[in-house]
Structure 1
Amino acid sequence: MGKKKHRSGIKRDNYQYTVNVDGACAGNPGLMGIGGVIVKSGETIHSFSEAKGFGTNNEAEYLAVITALEYMIPLCPESVIIISDSQLVVNQINGIYGINYPHLAKLFNRVQTLIKQIGCPVDIVWASREDNKEADALASAAAGMPMAPISDNGSINLWIPDPDYRPDANKLTELPELNWECERGIRDIVRMGGKAKFGEYAALRTGGFDGYSKIDTELLKYYISVRFGQDAVDWLVDAVGEETEYARKVFRWAARGLPPDMALKKVSVDTEITANAVNKRRVVSYD
């Protein structure tokens, strides 16, 4: 396996098998989830979405690579490319970064052992999260933070807005006003699109109590349908249901104007932040 630098425009056709993988963590450390999509000659043949217990983001990313490699062994492949959006894990596996933690070194050694067992060229390369959406959705779902509806056979239904949908101007005027801080934050994230990172989502705040904070689920769904159409409501319900507080948080952000996929991302970021804060308090309490 040669060293591979970060690159875009990956030539998937050069490989018999292409595997996109991702790891997610509800807090760091927290409940880990891994996901992957395995493609042979342009056709998806398998996907996985598995919870992996308590650990860190980097452990989850390694475990996703390991699971993909373990799946490859009985297939006797001729060539494999594994695509991850973890710069750290990709660069450690390719010898570009050092490994400073024994638990990651153990996972690294497992990766190297599996590559030798596969016995064919295996390239492990980096791609952006935007280019790794399906694996990201599978991993996030396994960690309890859904990012898209997932069918029983593991296929992911990513959000695609209806290009012909136009909100009714009169109905838009009926929606509760946003606090200026929230309105500006939503506008900025929508403008950034897929380039919006964890920090931008974390910085987004309601700016205090607003007209979306305490209303019932049915009214939130109506507001979402006004902004994005009924398809958006159906997509979100498929992704998160509608009876949990997690779902209601997602609905509130979509009702405020975050597109459905971004509303899911916002709540997953907030969940990670809350879990990290709880972990920190636990550590302090032990001292």
Structure 2
Amino acid sequence: MKVRIEWIYKTKRGAEMDFFSEEVPAAQALLFAEDMERTGRLKQVTFVDRFDSSWTVKELKGYLKGIETEPHNVSVYFDGGYDRDTKSSGLGCVIYYEQNGKSYRLRRNAATTGLESNNEAEYAAMHLGLQELDLLGVHHLPVRFIGDSQVVINHLNGEWPVIEQDLTGWADRIEGKLSKLGIQAEYELVPRKMNGEADRLATQGLNGIEIQAVIELVKD
């Protein structure tokens, strides 16, 4: 989770001024706030998340402590591929997350039939990612969903209305799953070249190559 810091600074002579930071990871925000508190000049500090919810220092500490052993700082890349000739689809998702002080990457793909368009395949790929989040035990957390489908991203973030009946069903299914898991979804549209991992997984799914793997990411 990312938050911005809002604080009131007080000088020795009693003058006060409000300050606001850019969004930073919650743990980093807490570190800076505690450091500023030690100066004795910090009159008040509040953390505000992307959903405009306010957190005190105590509340943010409790939140960070509570999620240490659960998957958090989750990002989901998704992509769907569709073959018009065979009406078969390949779905791919890549999930990055942290748990117990370590970073992980989960890769998963699937092949499916019965879809009617590439847009449906894109929705199905995001739904696959949600199913994997459920299996991981991700719940009541903000999650970034990243894809190169303008249709899916703009539908789900409310920029575009969902008109097509087949896509309405997918959008409703995804919103229902998000609500069930308590996930606060954040959507990001990226160019296809920045979604290469999920795209490759979708293509491999179309070609009948099944992949399901989790690895720990070790920093150099």
TM-score under structure 1 normalisation? 0.44
Change (3 A) 1:70 1:131: same
Deviation at residue 50 of structure 1 after TM alignment: 0.3
Give the structure 2 partner of residue 201 of structure 1: none
Give the structure 1 partner of residue 166 of structure 2: 103
Q: Deviations over 1:108-133 (max 9, x none)?
A: 00011011112132212211110000
Aligned to 1:103, what secondary structure does the other structure show? helix
Deviation at residue 84 of structure 1 after TM alignment: 0.9
Q: Tell me, which stretches of 5 or more residues in structure 2 are unaligned? A: 1-22, 27-71, 216-220
Partner residue of 1:69 out of 127, 130, 150: 130
Change (3 A) 1:99 1:120: closer
Deviation at residue 79 of structure 1 after TM alignment: 2.1
Deviation at residue 102 of structure 1 after TM alignment: 0.9
Q: Is the 8 A contact 1:33 1:60 kept in 2?
A: yes
TM-score under structure 2 normalisation? 0.57
One-letter amino acid of the counterpart of residue 53, structure 1: T
RMSD between superposed Cα atoms in Å? 2.8
Q: How far, CA to CA, are the matches of 2:196 and 2:24 in structure 1?
A: 16
Aligned residues: 142
Q: Is the 8 A contact 2:111 2:208 kept in 1?
A: no
Q: Deviations over 1:38-61 (max 9, x none)?
A: 111383342111001132100100
Alignment of structure 1 residues 12-23 onto 2, 5 Å: 16-23=73-80
Q: Is the 8 A contact 2:201 2:211 kept in 1?
A: no
Change (3 A) 1:85 1:66: same
Q: How far, CA to CA, are the matches of 1:47 and 1:81 in structure 2?
A: 16
Q: How far, CA to CA, are the matches of 1:144 and 1:137 in structure 2?
A: 11
Give the structure 2 partner of residue 39 of structure 1: 96
Change (3 A) 1:13 1:27: farther
Alignment of structure 1 residues 32-181 onto 2, 5 Å: 32-41=89-98, 43-55=103-115, 56-74=117-135, 75-77=137-139, 78-144=141-207, 153=213
Give the structure 2 partner of residue 30 of structure 1: 87
Q: How far, CA to CA, are the matches of 2:161 and 2:208 in structure 1?
A: 31
Q: Is the 8 A contact 1:83 1:127 kept in 2?
A: yes
Deviation at residue 138 of structure 1 after TM alignment: 0.2
Q: How far, CA to CA, are the matches of 1:140 and 1:35 in structure 2?
A: 8
Q: How far, CA to CA, are the matches of 2:195 and 2:179 in structure 1?
A: 26
Q: Tell me, which stretches of 5 or more residues in structure 1 are unaligned? A: 1-10, 156-287
Q: How far, CA to CA, are the matches of 1:16 and 1:119 in structure 2?
A: 15
Deviation at residue 140 of structure 1 after TM alignment: 1.0
One-letter amino acid of the counterpart of residue 122, structure 1: A
Higher strand fraction (1 or 2): 2
Q: What's the % identity of the aligned pairs? A: 25
One-letter amino acid of the counterpart of residue 114, structure 1: K
Q: How far, CA to CA, are the matches of 1:151 and 1:71 in structure 2?
A: 13
One-letter amino acid of the counterpart of residue 104, structure 2: T
Give the structure 2 partner of residue 194 of structure 1: none
Change (3 A) 1:101 1:26: same
Q: Is the 8 A contact 2:107 2:211 kept in 1?
A: no
Q: How far, CA to CA, are the matches of 1:16 and 1:111 in structure 2?
A: 20
Aligned to 1:16, what secondary structure does the other structure show? strand
Q: Is the 8 A contact 1:12 1:18 kept in 2?
A: no
Q: How far, CA to CA, are the matches of 1:50 and 1:12 in structure 2?
A: 35
